[in-house]
Amino acid sequence: MKRIPCLSALAALHFLLLAACSAPNGQPQKGSEVVAPNQVVDFDTLFKENCSGCHGADGRGGASIPLANPVYLAVVDENAMRKIVADGVRGTSMPAFAQSAGGLLTDEQIDAIASGIFSRWGRKGILDGANPPSYAAKTSGDVARGEIVFGTYCATCHGSEGKGGPKGSAIGNDSFLALVSDQGLRTIVITGRPDLGAPDWRGNAPGKPMSDQEITDVVAWLASRRVASPGQPYSASNHANPLEK
Ligand code: HEC
Ligand code: HEC
């Protein structure tokens, strides 16, 4: 008679131990399973592993623009963004991530990243009443007018002809221009670089937001200054001795 309660106490202990392990013998505990890389759909993990190196931790900006910029997210076209993530931007360091374009991410993962960027960092109504310029240019732009626009809105910070100025870097530099796309330039003119103190299209000249056409024209002017052999001081396309200026 005395043994029975003892046995059942042991059995109860056994049960408790099993419950504490919360998994039947031999099976991995919850959280310890290794998820195959192409099964990861958690936004934070995907962004950290694929994007933050260039767009900054939590999308706050780095070598490239911050994606956690509600002004950018109110202007960018969602399908255009998805396509950029999938196919990359040719001629720049923005890689293609879709498997169909040689990348490592599945379509489901690209969807998770793109929709996560909007739901995490977008802010509805941020541009209410601001009449923002269109994300993509509607025309090819006028180079001569663009030069005047640059003088009005950009030279105060970036110097005449974009040689660098008191507050902004040398964006007319041929190596810089060789590494950025026209849309990349347009995006920065529209959204600024809030992470680096660059104003958006409303803040370049006090009380004078840039028009859509002015943005298109200034990008056309910058694009016209690309050279065939960037960054080569002794190449045929740029034979002036920089020391003689
Ligand atoms: C090796 C650096 C690098 C990595 C990694 C990278 N990007 Fe980019 N990304 C860039 C650069 C540079 C540009 C600007 C390209 C240009 O000039 O148009 C860019 C542009 C973009 C744009 C377009 C901005 C615009 O003009 O509308 C989006 C959206 C974007 N990246 C999202 C991502 C996402 C999401 C990831 C991760 C899945 C990622 N990027 C990873 C460098 C990178
Ligand atoms: C009030 C000063 C100011 C004005 C005006 C201004 N910018 Fe900037 N801009 C900055 C700052 C600050 C940065 C970030 C640091 C840097 O790269 O110079 C920047 C960055 C940029 C960049 C990115 C450079 C890079 O390294 O990635 C581009 C492109 C640019 N500006 C274009 C323009 C254009 C075009 C105009 C005129 C339409 C303009 N900016 C007007 C201050 C200004």
**pLDDT for res 243:** 67
User: Does residue 212 sit within a domain?
Assistant: yes
Three state DSSP letters for the chain: CCHHHHHHHHHHHHHHHHHHHCCCCCCCCCCCCCCCHHHCCCHHHHHHHHCHHHHCHHHCCCCCCCCCCHHHHHHCCHHHHHHHHHHCCCCCCCCCCEHHHCCCECHHHHHHHHHHHHHHHCCCCCCCCCCCCCCCCCCCCCHHHHHHHHHHHCHHHHCHHHCCCCCCCCCCCHHHHHCCCHHHHHHHHHHCECCCCECCCCCCCCCCCCCHHHHHHHHHHHHHCCCCCCCCCCCHHHCCCHHHC
User: Does residue 54 sit within a domain?
Assistant: yes
Q: How many domains does the chain have?
A: 2
User: Does residue 57 sit within a domain?
Assistant: yes
Percentage of the chain with pLDDT > 90? 77
Percentage of the chain with pLDDT > 70? 85
Q: Are residues 109 and 153 in the same domain?
A: no
Is ligand 2 within 6 A of the CB of residue 197?
Answer: yes
CATH number of the structural domain spanning residue 210: 1.10.760.10
> What's the predicted TM-score (pTM) here?
0.87
User: Does residue 232 sit within a domain?
Assistant: no
Domain boundaries, position 92: 38-121
**pLDDT for res 1:** 40
**pLDDT for res 10:** 52
Ligand 1 interacting residues, C-beta cut-off 6 A: 50-51, 53-55, 64, 67, 76, 81, 84-85, 89, 92-95, 97, 113, 180-181, 183-184, 187
User: Does residue 110 sit within a domain?
Assistant: yes
Q: Are residues 103 and 175 in the same domain?
A: no
26 pLDDT band (50/70/90 cuts)? confident
Q: Are residues 148 and 219 in the same domain?
A: yes
Q: Are residues 153 and 208 in the same domain?
A: yes
